[in-house]
Chains A and B, each alone.
Chain A
Amino acid sequence: MVARTLPAIDRDNEAYWTWGREGKLAIHRCASCEYFVHPPVPFCPHCESRDVAPQAVSGRGRVVTFTVNHKAWLPDLADPYILALVAIAEQDDVRIPCNIVECDIDKVDFNMKVEVVFEPVEDLWVPLFRPVTA
């Protein structure tokens, strides 16, 4: 597979892309009203608190929607792969783009339960999700 294109890291998104080092999925959360704020912004739209910071979540979620890519956008991108939006278990309107891995392309489905795994790439840990087997 070709190298993943990586995001530019800033103060707001750094935890999301690096806490995988410790096996943790970091999502910004309001300390005052406990609302998850994603993409990460240092402001809570519910209670107007500025006390919003990354917090480790369970890493579990469900597949909201998905697509199986068949087009070889690059010469080495021949194999089909799954792109999905996963809602975290803690708050269903927080949606994370990802690849679903360790999953047959014919098996991925709406509402499928998944859990996070991380792939280290350069200085980042890219969150991916795989089916929950247990």
Chain B
Amino acid sequence: MMRFAEKDTAITGVGMSEVSRGADKSALALTVDAALEAIADAGLSRADIDGIATWPGERADGSGFSPVGCAALQDALRLELGWYGGGGEAPGQYGAVFNAIGAIAAGLCRNVLIFRTMYEATARKTAYANSLLREGQRQAGPFAWYAPYYTYAAALQQALFFNLYVHKSGIRPDQVGQIAVNQRRNAALNPKAIYKVPITIDDYLASPVIATPLRLYDCDVPIDGAAAIIVSRMDVARTLKNPPIRIDAIGSSMRYRNSWTQLAELDTQAQPKVAEMMWSRTDLKPADVDIAQLYDGFSFHTINWLENFGFCERYGAKDFIDGGHRIALDGELPVNTGGGAMSGGRLHAYGAVHEACTQLWGRAGARQVQGDPQVCATSTSGGPLAGTMLLVRD
């Protein structure tokens, strides 16, 4: 049988900068903080890092979406690398991890520093939030099809998909709102989270509608911050400080139209085929998963991932999350245990992988899931951007 390359890799360290609604230091400084913490956590030094990767790579458009790339971090840390790679044309945010797995398998490197930096809180105070708000500039690429229709944010596109999902599934607002309520409850126990004051379903229902049926509390929080992880070759990982967190299986396929308008199933998007690929690469089943860190750019994504990972049936998430008990820290499948991007801050799937490792290493303090969780499912994004990882503590 073919040996899947991810099974010979593991996460060996994690790091996170201060996360805030306005940093008192530069984006590069935040990145250095996260990187050095991850390197030290793995029990490594800068000299041991021979690969770096990020998603989507430096984007110097003033939006703060990705202000630091591989070259800037390599130079800041004076790393000597056998391989590096950034770029947005990958299976969502974890594309950087999947590329690193390939590089390790190819023998190009052994310990890869992977990072994601956001500087959106500062950017929104000092610059335009996105290029659609810049008058007179014509748009190219996939979003040019939406641009003339006052589609100023991803929230509007996702609201289109979300509305169709609500129409087909019959999910009620008080059920959708359980995602926001659950994550705020978890965030209250996470010292690094942005919003820690618990909310109720009534608070959720009273939050402003952005675009039907999407409410403010369905949305993630723009922040300044950086997260980093170290992915190591398995034989190296087993010599390091922490129990390796094996990357047991990944999902990264593109067996669908890569489009924000022409996806075959708008309400499930790319997720089913990506999850199917992941499950085809492991003997584990959905029932073996102890905790889940499911992308929550919008609560709709999390709901959709619950179904597409197979934790419940298609259009069955409404029953699964009803009342919020099953997804709570003491429930059968604790979801987004650190508060997710909606209460913790938008580290864009890297906050989620950081939290996954924190839980699997038993370091989550007041929010630690009991019963020694060993298997965590993680995912990125929505639309055609989908990637998954099944993480297992050795």
In the assembled complex, the CB of B143 is this many whole angstroms from the nearest CB of chain A, namely 9
Residue interface mask B131-162, A partner, CB < 8 A = 1? 01101011110001111111111011001111
Query: How many chain B residues touch A (Cβ–Cβ < 8 Å)?
Result: 38
A1, closest chain B residue (CB): B150
Note all chain B residues with C-beta closer than 8 A to A133: none
Number of interface residues of A (CB under 8 A): 37
CA distance A73 to B151 in the complex (A): 9
A98 close to B212 (CB less than 8 A) = no
Kindly report which residue of chain A lies nearest to residue B145, judged by CB atoms.
Answer: A97
Contact B211 A7 (CB under 8 A): no
Residues of B within 8 A of A64 (CB): 164, 266
Per the bound structure, the CA–CA distance linking A75 and B76 in Å amounts to 41
- Are A8's CB and B139's CB within 8 A? yes
Given A7-B140, A65-B164, verify A73-B146 contact (CB < 8 Å).
no
Q: Which B residues are CB-close (under 8 A) to A3?
A: 135
Q: How far is the CB of B95 from chain A (nearest CB, A)?
A: 23
Given the interface pairs A71-B208, A83-B156, the reply to whether A65 lies near B167 with Cβ below 8 Å is yes
Most buried by B among A5, A38, A93, A126: A5
A84 to B146, CA, bound (A): 10
Contacts of B282 in A (CB 8 A): none
Would A66 and B210 count as touching, CB distance under 8 A? no
Q: Are A77 and B150 in contact (CB under 8 A)?
A: yes
Indicate whether B163 reaches chain A with its CB closer than 8 angstroms.
yes
List A77-127 residues whose CB lies under 8 Å from chain B: 77, 81, 83-85, 93-99, 110, 121, 126
Is there a chain B Cβ closer than 8 Å to A39's Cβ? yes
Q: Is B209 engaged at the interface, CB distance under 8 Å to the other chain? A: yes
* A85:B210 contact, CB within 8 angstroms: no
Smallest distance from the beta carbon of B75 to chain A beta carbons, Å? 34
Report how far A9 CA is from B139 CA in the complex, Å: 9
Contact of B156 with A69 in the complex, beta carbons under 8 Å: yes
A6 within 8 A of B: yes
Q: Which residue of B lies closest to A98 (CB)?
A: B149
Cβ of B212 and Cβ of A70 under 8 Å apart?
yes
Return chain B residues, CB-CB under 8 Å to A74. 133, 152
Task: Select one of B135, B210, B259 contacting A70, CB under 8 A.
Answer: B210
| A4 interface contact, C-beta 8 A | yes
Check B160 against A84 for contact (C-beta < 8 Å). yes
Contact of A97 among B138, B146, B163, B212 (CB under 8 A): B146
Closest chain-B Cβ to A129's Cβ sits at a distance in Å of: 11
Complex interface residues of chain B between 109 and 140 (CB less than 8 A to chain A): 132-133, 135, 137-140
Specify the chain B residue showing the minimal Cβ separation from A93. Answer: B262
Q: Which residues of B contact A13 (CB under 8 A)?
A: 144
A68 within 8 A of B: yes
The answer to whether B214 has its CB under 8 Å from any CB of chain A is yes
Cβ-defined contact, A69 with B150, below 8 A: yes
Residues of B within 8 A of A121 (CB): 148
- A66/B262 in contact, CB under 8 A: no
Q: Is B74 an interface residue (CB 8 A)?
A: no
Answer whether residue B358 sits at the interface, using C-beta atoms and an 8 A cutoff. Answer: no
Interface centre among A70, A71, A93 (most CB of B within 10 A): A71
- B242 contacts chain A at the CB level, 8 A cutoff: no
B99 sits at the interface (CB 8 A)? no
Q: How far is the CB of B266 from chain A (nearest CB, A)?
A: 6
Q: Determine how close the nearest CB of chain B comes to the CB of A52; give it in whole angstroms.
A: 16
Instruction: Mark contacts of A1-34 with chain B using CB atoms, 8 A cut-off: 1 yes-contact digit, 0 otherwise.
Output: 0111111111001000000000000000000000
Q: Given A5-B148, A8-B144, A83-B146, output 10 extra A-B contacts at Cβ < 8 Å.
A: A5-B132, A6-B138, A6-B147, A7-B138, A8-B138, A66-B163, A73-B150, A83-B149, A95-B261, A97-B151
Q: Kindly list the 5 A-B residue pairs having the minimum CB-CB distance in the complex, ordered from nearest.
A: A7-B144, A67-B159, A65-B164, A73-B152, A8-B138
| Interchain residue pairs with CB less than 8 A apart (23) | A2-B150, A4-B147, A4-B150, A5-B139, A7-B147, A8-B138, A8-B144, A9-B138, A39-B145, A65-B160, A66-B160, A69-B150, A69-B210, A69-B211, A71-B211, A73-B152, A83-B156, A93-B262, A93-B264, A94-B262, A99-B150, A110-B164, A121-B148
